[in-house]
Chain A
Amino acid sequence: MRQQLDGDLEVSMGETVTVEIEAADTAFLAHTGAISVGQWSTANRVAPNKEVRTFVVAPTFSTNFSFTIGFDFTHGAGGTIPASALYTIRISGSGPGGHVRQRENGPTSILPSAQSFSFEIGQG
């Protein structure tokens, strides 16, 4: 996986892309939508606070595709969302390039929030 100048993640045909979403200091209140023109291969809740998904780039995917994750946060025992509440999103690929995209998503004044990730199938 490589990163293009416009920020899209360039992936290769047949490459397996892994998306990890891990929650800290919040109940896992995230929802990952369908790939715009493509399909998830696996989706597993590997721990109460962590989900791991994969897809394999196939000819059925469009040249450009994306997916969106929705996030919300739960309050702690004290009644407010802990300041340390956080989702960490890590996207990595099995193909050439070795780029890993990691983002942190904390609580904001407007919830739920959404974060979209876009891809482009390269020639490599």
Chain B
Amino acid sequence: MMRVILVVAFLAATVGTAHGQDQPVSFVPFEGTVRSLRGLKTTGDTRIGDIASILLERSSEFAIYSFGREVYASLVEEGRLDKQIGASSSGPGSTTLVSRGSVPALIGVAVENGALYQAVNGSAVTFRLNPAGLARAVAKRSYLLSAAPVNATALEQGLSNLAVSASFDLQKGSSPGTFTGERSQLTEVTARYHAINKRDPRHPAHRVAIQQLSGNLAGTVVVAQSYVDVLRKAAGYDAWRVETAKRLAGIDPGNDRTLRDTLVAIGDEFTRLFAVNPDLQRLSHALVGEIKTYRGTRDATFKAIDRSSVLTFEYAFNRMTIPEAALSTLAADFITPDLSTARVIFSSSLGTVGEATVNGSVTVFNKILAGMDGRLRDVQVSGSLEFKLPEIEGVGRLVLTLAGLGAFLQQQPFGVPVRIKDVETTDGTIGVFQAKVTMPAGASGVKIPLSMTLANRSEFNTGETEVRGAIGLSFDFDTLFARRN
């Protein structure tokens, strides 16, 4: 157990250290300017003209910069929290009682320690990926080109709705407590398909709402245009653009720190020379106001889209774990049958409060052993209510999840009776309640789920009520790549 905790701590520390030592240079609020500069392929006077043009094209970024860090920092937006990276509820070590419908666009990795209703202590590492996104990223040699194209074919669109995952139990294998990726550590493989997902604003159902939202950009556009109109009349502005363009043309746009420092110096100069103009100051205030006003409308539109329902089908292949203490009670040639689970996941919004999710699943044995009564192992029904808690500054929004699960074991959980701690396994009904708090670590993509689970019994322990705690760690690569773009 200690080694497992060390692995989790090491991974957490690694993620933290990676952020601490290799802190990416922030180009806020000049990200658009940087992107345009880095997109230039011209040389000589043409390049100087292009850069001079970019300085005017992106004058709204200079307008925002002229406010100072406090104001523009308050305009920076963080991403949303709504993905399951960890194992499905049936995997050992999972901290998730109810499977959720959403998945990462590319790759997600989760490390979890604890157990749910199976009562087998496990530490699972789950890799969940979107094969279509990964294939595009590999083919185009860039994560940035991994998303489904707008004009995707039906096949491409279909594949984009598919996600697969593999979970590994760190307690198993040749080096218990260490992830080796060997077959003996593999505990679960899943394939998940979004049958209905209208939470993508590109869905045709939202076309009118998106068109109306485009119209709401008019206020921002009018003010940005007025800013340019006044700026162009400012004495010396055109000459400043050309001289500044020559200065920028002399530096390597690929050198983050030099580029950032140069842009900050240029921004300060712009503020001193031009942004002090009362008309431009008034328009800067108006621009920030328009951005905030637009965002209010946009957020309401996106919230309405987020309230759309999601229907997901999942197939899971599971390899069951028999506790070591029980192995001696079994025949030497006993082979635990593998399991196949078909699961339906339905998620729907609870308005502004959070989200409700319902799962239904049927699990069958992949092999019938002597003494078994057919293949059907269990039927499970579960539900969860997820509440977004108020935001904590510097941390993000905590999410509280209350979940319940009813498992109806049609026959012995391992197919045949197994003695664990002198108690024989049986069929029957299991009721589980879980409370979980998921803590984000700022905008790093790291999330830490902490859960407490109460059950009338476990699958493998029929004698007593179970109370268990679990802690996990997940890292969503989508957040990282979306942020660095």
Q: How far is the CA of A71 from the CA of B213 in the complex (A)?
A: 11
- Residue A76 interfacial (CB < 8 Å): yes
Q: Which of B324-354 contact A (CB under 8 A)?
A: none
Contact call B220/A106, Cβ cutoff below 8 A: no
Interface of B is mostly: helix
Contact call A118/B53, Cβ cutoff below 8 A: yes
**Set of chain A residues within 8 Å of B294, measured between Cβ atoms:** 72, 112
**Set of chain B residues within 8 Å of A76, measured between Cβ atoms:** 105, 147, 200, 202
Contact call B482/A103, Cβ cutoff below 8 A: no
Closest B-chain residue to A49, C-beta based? B150
- Residue A41 interfacial (CB < 8 Å): no
Contact call A25/B150, Cβ cutoff below 8 A: yes
Q: Contacts A76-B200, A112-B220 given: A67-B79 contact, CB under 8 Å?
A: no
Contact call B201/A74, Cβ cutoff below 8 A: yes
- Residue B229 interfacial (CB < 8 Å): yes
Q: How far is the CA of A80 from the CA of B217 in the complex (A)?
A: 20
Contact call B302/A116, Cβ cutoff below 8 A: no
Identify A83's interface contact among B103, B160, B485, CB under 8 A. Answer: B485
Q: How far is the CA of A75 from the CA of B53 in the complex (A)?
A: 30
Interface of A is mostly: loop
Contact call B202/A81, Cβ cutoff below 8 A: no
Q: Which of A75-105 contact B (CB under 8 A)?
A: 75-85, 101, 103-105
Contact call A79/B39, Cβ cutoff below 8 A: no
**Set of chain B residues within 8 Å of A108, measured between Cβ atoms:** 28-29, 31-32, 35
Contact call A103/B77, Cβ cutoff below 8 A: no
Contact call B77/A28, Cβ cutoff below 8 A: no
- Residue B4 interfacial (CB < 8 Å): no
- Residue A122 interfacial (CB < 8 Å): no
- Residue A19 interfacial (CB < 8 Å): no
Size category of the binding interface on chain A: 35 or more
- Count how many pairs of residues, one from A and one from B, have CB atoms less than 8 Å apart in the complex: 218
Closest A-chain residue to B36, C-beta based? A103
Contact call A25/B147, Cβ cutoff below 8 A: yes
Contact call B53/A29, Cβ cutoff below 8 A: no
Contact call A30/B217, Cβ cutoff below 8 A: yes
**Set of chain A residues within 8 Å of B57, measured between Cβ atoms:** 103, 115-117
Contact call B225/A67, Cβ cutoff below 8 A: yes
Q: Which of B75-104 contact A (CB under 8 A)?
A: 75-77, 79-83, 102-104
B334 to chain A, nearest CB (A): 42
Identify A84's interface contact among B60, B145, B197, B201, CB under 8 A. Answer: B145
- Residue B315 interfacial (CB < 8 Å): no
Identify B49's interface contact among A5, A67, A111, CB under 8 A. Answer: A5
Contact call B77/A109, Cβ cutoff below 8 A: yes
Q: How far is the CA of A31 from the CA of B32 in the complex (A)?
A: 17
- Residue B64 interfacial (CB < 8 Å): yes
Q: Contacts A26-B202, A72-B217 given: A6-B52 contact, CB under 8 Å?
A: yes
The 6 sampled A-B contact pairs (Cβ below 8 Å) are A76-B147, A79-B83, A82-B146, A84-B144, A109-B28, A117-B53
Binding site for B on A (CB under 8 A): 3-9, 23-34, 36, 47-49, 64, 66-72, 74-85, 101, 103-118
- A-B CB proximity, top 3 nearest: A7-B53, A7-B52, A31-B217
